[in-house]
Amino acid sequence: MLKTRPSHTRLHGLTLTLTAIVALSTGNRATAEVPAAPTGNQNTATPGTTKDAKPSPAQSNSTRDLISSRGCESATAGTGNKIITYQGKTHVAWLDSNENGYFAVVRTLDRKTGTWSQTHTIGKSHDNHGRPAMTIDRQGYLHVVYGLHHNAIPYRRSLRPNDASAWTEPIVFGNKLSYPTLMCGADGALYLTGRYEWSGVRLYVKPPGQAWEDRGLIMRSEERCRGYAAFHSGLAWGPQQRVLHFACRTFQSSKGQPSEWWGDIQSVNYMRSDDLGRTWKRADGTPITIPATMETADLLMGGEGFDPKPGIRNDGTIVVDSQGHPYVLYYRNTPEKPGQSYLARHDGDRWQQLPLQSAMEKHHPGWAIVDSRAGLSITTDDVLCLTLIVAPIDHPKAAWNGKPLSKYFHEPAYWTNYIPQSKRIVWLESRDGGQTFITRRIVNPDPQRGEVQPSLERPTGFNRIPAGSYPGLLYVSTKTFTKWNEEKLVDNDVVWLQFKARQP
């Protein structure tokens, strides 16, 4: 139940600026322009009433809409895809909150007229972890799961193709799942992975016209894991939806107590399936006994340590290009070296590290990646698009040593959660397979607010990012810090951003 506070207020006021190539360094920050605060509850908006920020010349290459002012503290977080663009419409889902709890909601943008539908409620969430994940099938029916945090999985399908206004009654299956990702196969089968308790990652498959099937654990915790374990996984299709690619970040514990030890074993892993999830292999084709572990799957990075923790993050961030090459985005922060950025690509023979680190040092010197969930997408002409949360390495309140020790998850970058205003979203893109990058400024920095939880549209089967276009972006603007287990009424701005078409 939410803890309501009589003094709670809506949080408003955003400014967006776009430039072609600009560094997000202290010297290049522009003064924020604060538009008039919109009024009213976006949950009761009528079609076409979405608020726009005051335009500026720098915004001519993008559109930005405030689509909700009731976003919860983690409205757009998580690895599951929340944006579907299909035949002239874009459907956008996130997690709102009010006095009655948390709710997965959706709105639809008519791309021809530029108008938004009213907000439709998909279903109630168990807590602030229950962000929705969406996909779409060949016939245009939308599919969504939502509300998960160590519980059963509610699944719904739209009643009409390419229409998010009405849904089937929920079908509930499975149990004890969190952090889902949802994909649609060439034949219409649905594929869902998610964290299963502290045990690993579980795979569920729904063949066309049939019930959901539990395929069991495809990745498990290590035998030496004695306590808390979290797994954030992601799926991506290869060409023609023939090969299913999987990336996962593991966060495991060598001790059950004290809880400060949780997460002293961390890794980023990859594997793929050539037979729709029945068997799995490493990138070089070596078979893996399922369930895989961080040692038997491809280990892109691993680390162990208590004070501080390894500081390794991926959260299932993966895409595949038109040639079938997977790309996995991850990063690492340590007390000695915050801001280690990695983009790995398998070229068919071996994993290669692409020069993401040098791109960050060139375009955003002095800033470190602190989050990359849902921050990697790819177009049909193989343009890589990245949205990264960064924080200043030399912030006056920075504590890259992970102190003070948190009861649960202290890590080198954890201090940024207490100061959301320190965070910024940066955009990087590459048109040559990750060899070079350009950058775009998304938001004019406002010292009173933080831009967090960027979520790009990613291909999930039948929604694709066409050549010459960019994936849409969903993010949250906030000035309120909420502890992970502190459920309270927080009204954040949920913002939609779309760059205009480019030359393919």
pLDDT digits (tens, 9 = 90+) for 337-386: 999 999 999 999 999 999 999 999 999 999 999 999 899 999 999 999 99
Q: Which residues on adjacent β-strands are paired with residue 328? A: 318, 344
Q: Which helix (H) or strand (E) segment is 233 a member of?
A: strand 230-237
Confidence of residue 488 (pLDDT cuts 50, 70, 90): low
Say how far apart CA 130 and CA 273 lie, in whole Å. 27
Query: Do β-strands 473-478 and 424-430 pair in parallel, antiparallel, or remain unpaired?
Result: unpaired
Residue 276 inside a domain? The answer is no
Other beta carbons within 10 angstroms of residue 44's beta carbon come to 10
Decide if 4 is inside a domain: no
Let me know: does 232 contact 312? Beta carbons within 8 Å. Answer: no
Supply 141's token pair: 């029916």
Coil/strand/helix, residue 422: helix
Instruction: Count CA within 13 A, CB hemisphere, residue 323.
Output: 9
- Per-residue model confidence (pLDDT) at position 504: 60
Cis peptide before 504 (omega within 30 of 0): no
Whether the pLDDT of residue 14 is over 80: the answer is: no
Position 159 scores a pLDDT of 99
| 475, two tokens | 């993010």
Q: Which residue carries 């993010």 as its tokens?
A: 475
Range of the domain at 198: 26-249+308-499
Q: Phi and psi for 239 in degrees, rounded to 5?
A: -55, 140
In a domain, residue 384? The reply is yes
Burial call 448-483: b when 16+ CB within 10 Å, e when fewer:
ebbbbbbbbbbbbbbbbbeeebbbbbbbbbbeeebe
Give 400's DSSP letter: T
- Between residues 85 and 421, the one the model is more confident about: 85
Residue pointed to by tokens 């193989």: 382
Q: Tell me the pLDDT of the chain averaged across its residues.
A: 86
Residue 402: per-residue pLDDT: 83
| pLDDT score of 335 | 93
Is pTM, for the whole model, over 0.85? yes
Better-predicted residue by pLDDT, 174 or 46: 174
> What values do phi and psi take at 459, rounded to 5?
-65, 130
Nearest to 148 by CA among 135, 133, 129, 134: 129
Q: What is the pLDDT of residue 255?
A: 92
Q: Which residue has the tokens 């009731």?
A: 70
Omega of the bond prior to 258 within 30 degrees of 0, cis?
yes
Contact 337, 357 (CB under 8 A): no
If you average pLDDT over residues 395-408, what whole number do you get?
A: 83
Residue 486, pLDDT score: 54
What percent of the chain is predicted at pLDDT more than 70?
Answer: 85
Q: Which of 297-311, 394-408, 432-446, 490-504 has the highest mean pLDDT?
A: 297-311
Torsion sign, CA atoms 122, 123, 126, 127: positive
Query: Is 233 contained in some domain?
Result: yes
Backbone angles phi, psi at 481, to 5 degrees: -95, 130
Is the per-residue pLDDT at 254 higher than 80? yes
Residue in the structure block whose two tokens are 């803890």: 3
C-beta separation of 16 from 442 below 8 A: yes
16 lies in a domain?
A: no
Q: What is the pLDDT of residue 441?
A: 80
pLDDT of residue 205: 99
In a domain, 259, yes or no: no
- Residue, of 314 and 6, whose pLDDT is higher: 314
| Residue position matching structure tokens 């002095």 | 366
Among 116-125, 243-252, 257-266, which is the least confidently predicted range?
257-266
| Number of domains observed in the structure of the chain | 1
Is position 360 within any domain?
yes
Which pLDDT belongs to residue 105? 98
Of 39 and 367, the one with more pLDDT: 367
Dihedral-angle region of residue 334 (phi above 0 means left; psi in -120 to 50 means alpha; beta otherwise): beta
pLDDT at site 502: 78
On the question of pLDDT at 15 being above 80, the answer is no
Can you give the pLDDT at residue 408? Answer: 65
In 3D space, the residue among 274, 362, 289, 356 whose CA is nearest the CA of residue 317 turns out to be 356
Q: What span, in angstroms and rounded, lies between the C-alpha atoms of 134 and 82?
A: 6
17 against 307, higher pLDDT? 307
User: What is the rounded CA–CA span in Å between residue 195 and residue 77?
Assistant: 15
Paired with 128 in beta bridges are: none
Non-local CB neighbours of 463 within 8 Å, separated by 6+ positions: 84, 85, 86, 135, 136, 457
**pLDDT, mean of residues 324-346:** 96
Distance CA 152, CA 448 (A): 38
Query: What burial class does residue 278 get, using C-beta atoms within 10 Å of its C-beta: 0-12 exposed, 13-18 middle, 19+ buried?
Result: exposed
Q: What is the pLDDT of residue 483?
A: 52
| Contacts (Cβ under 8 Å, ≥6 apart) of 138 | 184, 186, 188, 462
8 A C-beta contact, residue 32 and residue 424: no
Q: Are strands 280-281 and 200-206 parallel, antiparallel or unpaired?
A: unpaired
The yes-or-no verdict on residue 438 having pLDDT over 70 is yes
Find out whether 67 and 42 touch, Cβ atoms under 8 Å: yes
Residue type, 191: Y
172-211 pLDDT tens trace: 999 999 999 999 999 999 999 999 999 999 999 999 999 9
Task: Find where tokens 């400014």 sit.
Answer: 15
Could you tell me which residues are beta bridge partners of residue 250? 231, 267
Q: pLDDT tens, 109-163?
A: 999 999 999 999 999 998 889 999 999 999 999 999 999 899 999 999 999 999 9
Q: CATH code at 372?
A: 2.120.10
Q: Pick the residue with more confidence: 166 or 501? A: 166
Residue 63 lies in a domain: yes
